[in-house]
Amino acid sequence: MEYVVIAFLCLGILLYFLLGGADFGAGIIELFTSTKNRSRTRKTMYQAIGPVWEANHMWLIIAIVILFVGFPHIYTTMSVYLHIPLLIMLIGIIARGTAFVFRHYDAIKDDMQWLYNRIFRYSSFITPLFLGIIAGSVISGHIDTEATDFASAYIFSWLNWFSIAVGLFTVALCGFLAAVYLIGETDDEHDKRRFIKKAEYMNIAAVIFGAMVFIAAQLDNIPLMDWLFRNTVGLTAIILASISLVLLWYLLLKGKTKVLRILAGFQVTMILLAISYAHFPNFIRLKNGSAISLFETIGPEKTIYSLGLALLLGSVLILPFLGYLFYKFQKKEE
């Protein structure tokens, strides 16, 4: 049963990254859209993510619940040493979710829209940035459980080049996922071209920030190269991700939206797999060189058994219902 629980944890994180990420990305795209096109982008985006955005963010809840029920030591270590970035991320989540709803459900469209839009756009940028920073910090080995002063315990655990580079990389990936998703959500040729352009820019940004991640890893003495290239799974995943990068560009230029979506999702999945595979089952790397492993900190047997059962039962109910939601509200003509 522990494998079921871990599989759901990975699935939760992956789907949050893909679906929640695309969702954040839509706000990022809006942020980087020129003023004259913004309202069009907003409209497409609303049609595209309106029905599904709440559900997309449930994956985060699923992942966090699995962590605190099944792996409480991991959950609390993150909560203590990454308190500040978690807090900023939460503020971002609150601000973004409410602004998104407020701007749509304000019965009178007036100057308040300006405020909602601003909040929505900036929090769409900040939230994935800090999500990335948190993810980077977890594997960066900067978390120091033996620290005695405030700065090294609670600040430098996440404020380092590697974490920030991962944060920016995450933002670019989210933007990319969203742009790819939005291409298929509009009929207008002009808008389609705009989103294709955005996808290209975001992809270039992702490649640049990806390179920054490697440089930062070198600076911070993080053996990223070893993780990626010293095992077959990591290597295969990286090769597949690179192949899909080339294919993506080809498809982008051709404007094939459906395959493009799947390929973009696949590429991001491969990147996540490549980075995380080498540590598994270690989850948090600590400054003193040790690591907190999933298996060593797993909760009591009965808890894991009932958690796994609850997740299996839940997915029987959730997945078909969720699939139907996506199916029902996707664009029809294709």
Six token digits for residue 25: 């990305």
Binder among 4, 32, 72, 293 for other proteins (CB under 8 A): 72
Binder among 1, 31, 32, 83 for other proteins (CB under 8 A): 83
Contact 167, 88 (CB under 8 A): no
What does the alpha-carbon distance between residue 111 and residue 261 come to, in Å, rounded to a whole number?
36
Interface with other proteins in residues 280-299 (CB under 8 A): 299
The stretch among 35-43, 87-95, 238-246, 275-283 that binds other proteins (CB under 8 A) is 87-95
Binder among 24, 100, 130, 195 for other proteins (CB under 8 A): 100
DSSP structure string for 29-76: HHHTS-HHHHHHHHHHHHHHHTTTHHHHTHHHHHHHHHHHHH-HHHHH
Residue 320 half-sphere exposure toward CB, CA atoms < 13 A: 4
The stretch among 14-22, 49-57, 191-199, 257-265 that binds other proteins (CB under 8 A) is 49-57
Residue 101 binding other proteins, by CB under 8 A: yes
**Residue in 125, 126, 133 with CA at minimum distance from that of residue 163:** 133
Residue 50 binding other proteins, by CB under 8 A: yes
Binder among 2, 31, 51, 220 for other proteins (CB under 8 A): 51
Instruction: Specify burial of residue 323 (Cβ count, 10 A radius: 0-12, 13-18, 19+).
Output: exposed
Nearer residue to other proteins within complex by CB, 235 or 310: 310
Which 3 state secondary structure label does DSSP give 301?
helix
Interface with other proteins in residues 139-158 (CB under 8 A): 150, 153-154
140-142-145 Cα angle (round to 5): 130
Identify the bridge partners of residue 143 per DSSP, sorted by sequence position.
Answer: 286
Least separation, in Å, of the C-beta of 252 and other proteins?
A: 29
Residue 39 binding other proteins, by CB under 8 A: no
Binder among 131, 205, 268, 311 for other proteins (CB under 8 A): 311
DSSP state for residue 143 in the 8-state scheme? B
At residue 106, what are phi and psi to the nearest 5 degrees?
-75, 120
Cα 290 from chain centroid?
Answer: 26
Binder among 91, 235, 238, 240 for other proteins (CB under 8 A): 91
**Residue in 285, 283, 142 with CA at minimum distance from that of residue 220:** 142
Nearer residue to other proteins within complex by CB, 29 or 95: 95
Interface with other proteins in residues 108-127 (CB under 8 A): 108
Residue 306 binding other proteins, by CB under 8 A: yes
Nearer residue to other proteins within complex by CB, 99 or 202: 99
Nearer residue to other proteins within complex by CB, 101 or 212: 101
Residue type, position 297, single letter: T
Identify the bridge partners of residue 293 per DSSP, sorted by sequence position.
Answer: 282
What lies within 8 Å, CB to CB, of 181 at 6+ separation is 22, 25, 26, 48, 261
Least separation, in Å, of the C-beta of 166 and other proteins?
A: 20
**Residue in 201, 154, 193 with CA at minimum distance from that of residue 175:** 201
Residue 259 binding other proteins, by CB under 8 A: no
Least separation, in Å, of the C-beta of 30 and other proteins?
A: 18
What does the alpha-carbon distance between residue 275 and residue 167 come to, in Å, rounded to a whole number?
14
List residues near other proteins by CB under 8 A.
Answer: 50-52, 54-55, 57-58, 60-62, 64-66, 68-70, 72-73, 75-76, 78-80, 83, 86-87, 90-91, 93-95, 97-98, 100-102, 104-108, 150, 153-154, 299-300, 302-303, 306-307, 310-311, 313-314, 317-318, 321-322, 325, 328-329
